[in-house]
Amino acid sequence: MTGEPSKSGIVSDIVTYGSNAGALAVIFSSHPVSATMLALWASKPVRESISRLISGSLEIPEAWLRNRKLYIEAQGLSEQAALKGFAEKVAETTSSAGTITERAEHYALTVIERKQEARENISQRTLEYLADEKLSDKASAPSEDFMRSFEAVAEKTSSAELQDMMARILAGEIRNPGSISRASLEISNILDKEIIESMLFIKPYIISNKWICVDSLDFYTLNNHCELLSSVRITSEMGIRKHGFSPDGIAVHSFSSGDVLIQANQRGKNINSKFSLQTSGFNVTKSGLELIALLPEKKDFDIGEVARAYEKNEYIERAITGKLVKEGDNFQFIQHSNN
């Protein structure tokens, strides 16, 4: 326990975060970009969102606030009062009333402290991401429904990876209201380090913001990621997909880091002339795309490795990297010089 609760159990000195930037400075005073963060406080959407997340709806014991040097607006007795009431009822029927009461109070403080720490960590990371670029005019504080769902997940997070993901979600929703669906928030409740790392891994392999072709990498590697991510509704299960070859056996797959032109060999062309040449792959769900879009790009991703992986398919003659550009009503593939 970080400190003894006050006798009244009620916070007497509070400062409202929504109207006092000095309170924010208490939390982030030592942060290397604290000046930038405080500048963000001039934005109403940021101020309202972060205030809501930090303050929450719990009443926090005065002694604990003093120890942490934080003053947070209290709006009701909520769970501390419920826990205290529980302890008092138990005390009435138990000889070791004092011990049980102390344990209940300690539990109340522990629960609140952990939740508050998670809220503050996510708030700080959110401000860091918002500081990366100027907010547009469409930025807005998330809706009440969104914040209720978000807070329920955020305050239960414990790992740095998941707290970082929740910060990305809140920053993304502030920047682009409505970009994160309720379904995505529900999925975020079951994310863990392994799932987040898997999303990071598959991100550069997504073709045209839709699907992933197993020809772009080792089958078993992608299949392992697919099995994990499909279990939490981020991707679909593995299945048959069309390569998208034209009648002359040419297809272009567009990735975030460039395009790959693939050309079928004669066997592939013969098959494709009768029915669309197919391969294995899996789709990324709407929620999956929303969450993956928030993650950083893989800096060491090599589009050339994807092209070389395509060439292992028995029906593909060659694959080259470049960029598909539109010229008037036609498209032209500009090949990379290192092919």
pLDDT tens column, 210-254: 999 999 999 999 999 999 999 999 999 999 999 999 999 999 999
Q: Ranked by mean pLDDT, which of 48-57, 67-76, 88-97, 276-285 comes out on top?
A: 276-285
Supply 45's token pair.
Answer: 């959407």
- Residue 52: predicted pLDDT: 78
How would residue 103 be classed by pLDDT, with cut points 50, 70 and 90? low
Q: How confident is the model at residue 89 (pLDDT cuts 50, 70, 90)?
A: low
Q: How far apart are CA 147 and CA 179, in angstroms?
A: 14
Q: Kindly indicate the confidence band of residue 8, based on its pLDDT and cuts at 50, 70 and 90.
A: very low
CA distances from residue 25 to 38, 73, 133, 149, 216 in whole angstroms, order as listed: 7, 16, 21, 27, 48
pLDDT score for 62: 43
Is residue 105 over pLDDT 80? no
- Single-letter amino acid code for the residue at 240: I
Residue 298, helix vs strand vs coil: coil
End-to-end CA, the chain: 63
pLDDT of the residue at 100: 64
For residue 249, the one-letter residue type is G
Check whether 30 has a pLDDT greater than 50. yes
